[in-house]
Homo-oligomer: A and B are copies of this chain.
């Protein structure tokens, strides 16, 4: 696994990802392209890799739940800094440079990594929990009642 990751780092931008990013970067106005995440890695794989990373550095002593939560808050703050002066940020982020997109990928990743580690330390099976929460949301906001209106939207969603 370590070699695998080192390899990822060396290559940095494998062919397939470059292609994908370029293709998606060409966001065509007026037509919404289908977008999907890669099937892998799973959340479990990220959890396991991050667990190895933390254990190898003897950092579990610092990774108590509230500490991970504050680290998550720190990363959300870095994410916010990327968007704070960009009132015009639209879907697909037209106008963002490649360097800005890369920093965005890093910050989104940091939030995800700490979120998964926080869930692990709290013994929450997050993939399953998310599935249950989405089911609750469907029941709470029936499409027939809340459809479309901004006013209803504001009132219903919390």
Binding site for B on A (CB under 8 A): 2, 5-6, 8-9, 12, 17, 20-21, 24-25, 27, 35-44, 46-50, 53, 56-59, 61-62, 64-67, 69-81, 83-87, 89-93, 101, 104-106, 108-113, 115-116, 118-139, 141, 143, 146-148, 150, 153-154, 157-158
Contacts and interface: CB of A to CB of B under 8 A. Distances in A.
A37 B67 CA distance: 21
Nearest to A49: B134
18 contacts: A5-B134, A37-B119, A46-B130, A57-B146, A66-B66, A70-B80, A70-B81, A75-B77, A77-B80, A86-B154, A101-B122, A104-B124, A105-B129, A105-B132, A106-B129, A106-B133, A109-B134, A113-B130
Contact of A132 (B8, B70, B133): B8
For this chain, the copies found in one complex come to: 4
Contacts of A71: 80-81, 84-85
B84 A128 contact: no
A9 B135 contact: yes
Interface of A is mostly: helix
